Structure formats: C-alpha cells, structure tokens
Structure 1
Amino acid sequence: MSLPELSRIPPGQALLIFGDASSVHTQRWAREMVARGHVVVVATRLPAPIEGVAAVVPLHPGRDGAGWFRALPAVRRLARTLQPRIVHGHYVTGYGLWAAACGWGPVVQTAWGSDILVTPRESALMRRIVGWSLRRADLMTADSQDALDAMALHGDGAVAPRHEILWGADTDRFVPAPIASTAGIADEHGPFRILSLRSWELNYNIDVLIDALAQVRAARPGRVVTLALLGGGPDAEALKARAAAAGLDDAAVRFTGRVGDAAMVAAMQAADVSVSVPSSDATSVSLLESLACGLPVIASDLPANRRWVPPEAGRIVPPRDVAALREALLALIDDPATCRAMAVHNRALALREASRRVQMDRMDALYRQLPPSGPRGLRETVR
C-alpha cells in the first residue's frame, strides 16, 4: 500500500508498528491486535506478509546500520501521512529509534532482550541512541523484569510507566502430547529426545548443547539419546561440522531448521526435554511454549529464566558450561518420574501465567489508556 493509499485510513485510527515484519513475534503481535479491533500498519526493513494488517510498508530494506538513519525522512513522511493513534517501536535499537524520531505519538517502546541487555554496552553511541529513544516514550514494555530495569537505567530521565508484557504462549495450540504418546518421558527404557528451539547463532550456545549431547551418549551407551534443532540460523554449517567432529550422525542430531507452529507443536510433543541456554535473553517465547506443552526445561542461569524454571520445572545451568548441561541432562534421563512431575507442573504454570491471550488483552488495555495522538517535536538532542 502506497502513502496515498495509506492516507485513506482515517487520522488517529492506526496502530503504527515499527518492527521486523519477517519475525514471527512481530507477526503474532500484529495479528493479536488486529483481532482486538486495531487497524495495524507495520513499517519494516525486513518485509513479509502479515495476515489481517492494513499494510506492511518497506522502508530501506536491508540490515546495514546506516540504513536506519537514511530511512528517517521516509519514517517521518509515513507518520505525517498516517497520523497514527499509536506509534510502537519493537526493538529499542533501530525500530525504537524510528518510533522516537517519527514525529508522532503517543510512543510505545518494547524491548526484546539483547537490544536493551547487550547492545547499549557495546558503544557510547548506542547508549545515547537508546537513552534518547526511551526518553521519548509514553509507555515502555518488556517481557522480563531485568529488561525493564535496564530500560530504566539506560533511559535515565525517562518518566514513562513500565510494564511487563509477555509475548506469551498460545496455550490452546501448544498442548502436551496425548497420554498414549510414545515419547521417552513415558518410558524409562525408550529413546530420550532433546529439543532446542533456539536460533543457530553465537548467543544461543548450540555448540555447547552438541558437545553435551556427545558426552551424554558416551555416558549412557545403552540409551538412545537424540537432539532435534529447530531454530535455524547463520551458523548452520559450523554446527553441522561440530556435530560430525563429535561423532554425531544424522540419527543423533537432526538439523530441522525453522518450522511453522503445527510442526513445532509436533516436535515438542515428541520430545522429553526442551533446552534453552543462551548467554543473554529476556523471557523466551519458545521457553513459554515448552512449558505449555508440558516439557521439562533446562535453561541458562539468567534472571528471566530463573523466574520460569524453579527446581520443580526443570534445571538451571551456567550458559556455556558443557559439564553442567551434561549432568542436568543425565539427571533427567535417569529420573523419568521427576520428568513426569515437571510436565504436569509446567503445563499448569503456562496456563496460569503465560497465556498469550491474557498478555495481549493486557497490552490492548494499556494501548487504550494512552493520551490522544498528535505531532511530536524533536527538540531534545541525543546525549
């Protein structure tokens, strides 16, 4: 949809999301808000179709850093044309800059994790950009308390309210396997199936999981132990080479890559444990979906994970500790009764606290409490 066509949307009606349209998280958020009556427009550098939205608007497609700044005139033209009811930056660096600089408001800023927990520590420039973007917000959200605390720290002087809003799990779709499932959790002598849903890139430590699997199989030579990797990502070839070097063939490690929700649910229902051991993370959607499917969880020792993975839910390990991960896996392999108890606990926890429907209802209510829309000046300089 072109800018003239966007002008057909009545002023003060649209929810303008600046975010990665190719991300399943952006897509889910947008669809949830469409379902709640919002007219949603997504402006993005990574265009992809999103069912139900009024438009996906590509702006300087690509990933280069300079493109964020070159796109600013187009960002401001889009906001002037659309005159949105709400502007929402999804990912404080980049898209959050666009939301803060578009010249319209109210502005919502949502941190995704590394954008607030890691990137501001990388350079003084990024700290200044993040701080400037947050100080222009009328509302800030994140999916973990440590991310909210970081927003307060880096947005020094920002007065907008901060709320924990989870991406949440679709607890109607992500459900445990039927009782008659043949998954190893129901059979202490059957295969034990490990599942990872995280991306194949440095932060998620898939190499550590591969090394731990090799050690687990060596420690339990009489047990079939396998790993399914569903994340996909840029380190695929390096990780395949690492698995081969560790003596793990295609039967031991399946590099499945990214799949849709239905295939993901099927993989979870066939698994015995979900492993998520990133070095940095806020609340992981895949972790919540694992809980919803009644899977025991092994997670890295991060504030967001500690909330969701107490001893009755799974095991916490240091992010890059192969030995600790090996021992956590062996403990679950050797104790199917505890695994079954964790499965029951985790499904109940997801229903009680991690439902996407409940979280998006909360977000919709926060949207509707925001002040009226209108133009915003850009008098404050980045400092």
Structure 2
Amino acid sequence: MRICVLGAASSPHVLARARAFGERGHQVTLISPTAPEPHEPESSPLTILWPKPHRAGFAGKIGLVLWTAWMLTRQRADVYHAHYAAEVGSWLAWLLRRQPLVVTVMGGDVLFDEQGSLGPLGRWLTRQTVMGARLVTTKSRHLTEVIARIGVPTTRIEEIIWGIDAAVFRFSAEGRASTRRDWNVADDSFLVFSPRMMMPFYNIDLLVEAWAKIADTEPNTLLVLSEYRADPAYRDTLKRRVKELGLERCVRFVPARTPDRMADAYSAADVVVSIPPSDGFPQAVLEAAACGRPVILSDLPRLYDILAPETCALYAGFDPAAIAAAVKKTMKNPSNTRERAEKAREAVLARADFQANVDRVEGRLLALVRTD
C-alpha cells in the first residue's frame, strides 16, 4: 500500500506507528507540521516531509496551511491516515476529500470540554473530519463513546490502543543502575518518577506539594521530574516552589530522554506517577506498566478498563494529601505493590501489544483499499 500519514514527526508515537508500516514493506510518506527529532535515523523506512523553514506567527500558520494543502494534492496514496484529529493536516485531508481517510484520535483532540483549547471553528473542523473518515480508531471505550456522540456510526469505529513494543519496554536491571548513576540517585533510595510533559495541564505542581507531606517522614524518598517539553515559566515556578518548601534535597529535575532510553528511566523508578485531569489513555503509563513499574494515576474511570483499581494501579484525586497517601501506600506494602505491578504488566501485554495492534490496523486499511 501507499500510505500517506498525517501527524507530527516530533511525536514518538506517530513516528513509531508510521515506521511500523514502512517496516512491513508499505510505501509510507509522513506529512508533518513539525520537523522530526534529531535522533530519527537516516535509514528510517518512511519519507518525512515538513515545511522548511517553519515561520512563526500568523504568516507561519497561513504558510503551513498552504504548504500542507500542496503536499496533499501531490500525494497519490491508497489510504490517508491522520493521527490526531484536531490538526491542520487532518482537517485538510477531509476538506480536500482525500479518501479513504482513517483518523486515529488520541484524546486531547476530541475531549473538547476537558482539554479544549480549540475555538468553534477548530471544533467544527475536527467533528467534520472524524465524521468524514471511513474509519476512526480510538484508544479506549471512553473515546469510542465520545466519537459515537459526535455522530460517527459505530461500524466505522474500532478500539485500537496501539500500545507498546514489549521487546523494548521491559525491566532492565542494568538500565536501572545506569540511569540512577546518571541521576545521582543511591541504590537504596525510593524513587518516584514523573515522565509527563512539564506543563501546567499535567499537575506537576501537585506532586511537589505532595512531596512536602512525604519528605519529613520518608527522608529516603526522591521525586524525579522529567523536563520533557517543559514550559520554561512553569519549570521556573516549580523550582521556586521546591526551594520555598526546602525540598531541594529530595526533588530533582532531569533532562528529557529520547524514546529509546525511556525503558531505562522507567526501570530506575520504584513508582511512576501520572495525574493530569484528563487523558485518552496515556502512552507513558502503558510503557511504565510494561516495564513492571507500579503506577499511581489520576482517578479517571476510563482508565479502569485496562488497569483495574487496587488490582493493577493506585488512583489518587487531585489533592497533594491523596497523592502523598498513595505514594506512602506503595512504600509500606511492598508485596502488594509488587503484585499490582505484575498484574498491570500482564494486563498491558494482553491488551496493548504494539505489533498485534498494527496487524489489526493493517487488516482494516487493506480492506478499505480493496473496497474503495
């Protein structure tokens, strides 16, 4: 198949999905609004196109629209696959009647009221795009319900979580040791890791406030915050708050890691925490669970489908005291914590095997091409 993928080349998830089809012998072209990360290998089995140079401001937005439209009109693909519905490339694929169109929604693109930064026009374009697609894939039952409420027939919706590559995301004792050396963390320290973007939406400030309730009674604990896609002003605010609370010894800021080194980062942790107020189904949580790490998550019932409360994960409200209590629970009950982590890993490997889900998507794409 000739597949035209629409999505951000700066997203490791979009790249992994596009690359998987290239590795299966399909001809894949990725049209991206952003440049790929420098670590993308030159031997990558896909062609990546992005605007050069990328201009800022209103002129840049108009230029991106025109460039993307031009790129799309030049494509002679068998199928067009948009990753993230609320993006210029996805909208233009619908407007230019590029068919068969497949849209993979990720959460923030269609959870308008929870994560909405889109105005009325953006929401309308997003709705029209998913309604105009021949197939919409979703990462959870909750997102399936959201797409159905928009008006997409259930026969055109398929729940595909995509998931993780179990050969990559697995516990590594060597990776744990080397990462702790990189972060200057002692072997016997209890390490809680936040891998999510360092932006206000992800409630990293609540973790810092929770640590003020942990540090006095649990001096051997350490909170490690990834600076992945950090908002500079928010990062500065967090660092000031850490200093005000006297937590410099037990809260650490670390540089973002490339995707190929994330399994080692998860392995270094004793607990991985993720507490945004909204999520489709967080990829970082799937990765951490596959590495056998216990997880503490936002209390969002949509996540229960895979990670059952208490059985596979601990859930906490958006309150520092609740987060602190969940962390202490993982520390005080190590055998229960290990059992939860093992069950979470089993659940993720059963439902979220990447290659198995690529098989499913490939089958649906081939069927669309045959019937188009």
Q: 1:157 to 1:367 in 2, by over 3 A?
A: closer
TM-score, length-scaled by structure 2: 0.86
Specify the alignment match of 2:68 in structure 1: 75
Task: Identify if the C-alpha distance between structure 1 residues 121 and 19 changes in structure 2 by more than 3 Å, giving closer, same or farther.
Answer: closer
Bigger fraction of residues in helix: 2
8 A contact 2:295–2:341 mirrored in 1: no
**Structure 1: distance between partners of 2:138 and 2:61:** 22
Which position in structure 1 is the counterpart of 2:239?
A: 240
Q: How does 1:112-191 map to 2 (within 5 A)?
A: 112-118=106-112, 123-154=119-150, 156=151, 161-178=156-173, 190-191=188-189
- 1: CA distance, partners of 2:301 / 2:6: 27
Give the structure 2 partner of residue 270 of structure 1.
268
Corresponding position: 1:28 with 2:23: no
Contact 1:19 1:91 (8 Å CA) reproduced: yes
Gap regions ≥5 residues in structure 1: 1-12, 375-383
Q: Give the deviation of 1:180 after TM superposition.
A: 12
Aligned equivalent of 2:4: 16
Q: Is the 8 A contact 1:173 1:265 kept in 2?
A: yes
CA–CA distance in structure 1, aligned partners of residues 3 and 32 of structure 2: 14
CA positional deviation for 1:297: 0.7
Aligned with 1:37 (options 5, 11, 25): 25
1:301 deviation in Å?
1.3
Render the CA deviation track for 1:20-78: whole Å, top value 9, x for unaligned.
11111111111111112221111111121654244222248367678566544443432
Q: Which amino acid aligns with 2:352?
A: A
C-alpha displacement of 1:277: 0.6
Secondary structure (helix, strand or coil) at the match of 1:87 reads strand
Partner residue of 2:102 out of 100, 108, 118: 108
Separation (CA, whole Å) in 2 of partners of 1:179 and 1:343:
19
Q: What displacement does 1:238 show? A: 2.0
Question: Match for 1:357: what amino acid?
Answer: Q
Residues 265-274 or 281-290, more deviating? 265-274
The separation in 2 between residues aligned to 1:228 and 1:79, in whole angstroms, is: 42
Q: In the alignment, which of 92, 115, 137 is matched to residue 98 of structure 1?
A: 92
Change (3 A) 1:179 1:54: closer
Q: Give the 3-state SS of the residue equivalent to 1:360 in structure 2.
A: helix
| 116-125 or 36-45, larger mean C-alpha shift | 116-125
Residue 36 and residue 64 in structure 1: after superposition, are their counterparts in 2 closer, same or farther (change >3 A)? farther
Contact 1:72 1:102 in 2 (8 A): no
Give the Cα separation in 1 of the matches to 2:284 and 2:302: 13
CA gap 1:308/1:297 in 2 versus in 1, 3 angstroms = farther
Could you tell me whether the CA contact under 8 Å between 1:175 and 1:265 is conserved in 2?
yes
Backbone CA RMSD of aligned residues: 2.8
What is the identity, as a one-letter code, of the residue corresponding to 2:13? H
8 Å CA contact retained: 1:195, 1:228 = yes
Q: CA deviation at 1:97?
A: 0.7
Question: What is the distance in 2 between the residues matched to 1:366 and 1:63?
Answer: 38
Give the superposition deviation at 1:344.
2.0
1:355-366 equivalence runs, <5 A:
355-366=353-364
Q: 1:369 is matched with which residue?
A: 367
- How far apart are residue 330 of structure 1 and its match? 0.9
Equivalent in 32, 37, 48 of residue 56 of structure 1? 48
SS in 2 for 1:278: coil
Name the structure 1 match of 2:203: 205
Whole-Å separation in 2 of the counterparts to 1:150 and 1:26: 22
User: How far apart in 2 are the matches of 1:29 and 1:66?
Assistant: 31
Q: Contact 2:223–2:250 at 8 Å: present in 1 too?
A: yes
Contact 2:3 2:78 in 1 (8 A): yes
Tell me if structure 1 keeps the 8 A contact 2:143–2:280. yes
CA distance in 2, matches of 1:181, 1:127: 43
Residues 62 and 27 (structure 1), Cα distance of their counterparts in 2 relative to 1, 3 Å cut:
farther
Residue 244 of structure 1 and its aligned partner are, at CA, apart by 1.8
* Cross-structure match for 1:214: 212
CA spacing shift, 1:302–1:190, aligned 2, 3 Å: same
Aligned length: 353
Deviation of 1:346 after TM superposition, in Å, equals: 2.2
In 1, the alpha carbon distance for the partners of 2:163 and 2:332 equals 31
Q: State how far apart, in whole Å, the 1-side matches of 2:288 and 2:108 are.
A: 21
Distance between the aligned counterparts of 1:32 and 1:229, measured in 2? 30
Superposed displacement of residue 354, structure 1: 1.7
Matched ranges for 1:197-346 at <5 A: 197-220=195-218, 223-232=219-228, 233-234=230-231, 235-249=234-248, 251-310=249-308, 311-318=310-317, 320-346=318-344
List alignment gaps of at least 5 residues for structure 2. 181-186
Alignment match, 1:377? none
* Structure 2 Cα separation of the partners of residues 68 and 180 of structure 1: 42
**Bigger mean CA offset, 337-346 vs 286-295:** 337-346
Alpha-carbon distance in structure 2 between the residues aligned to 1:359 and 1:167? 5
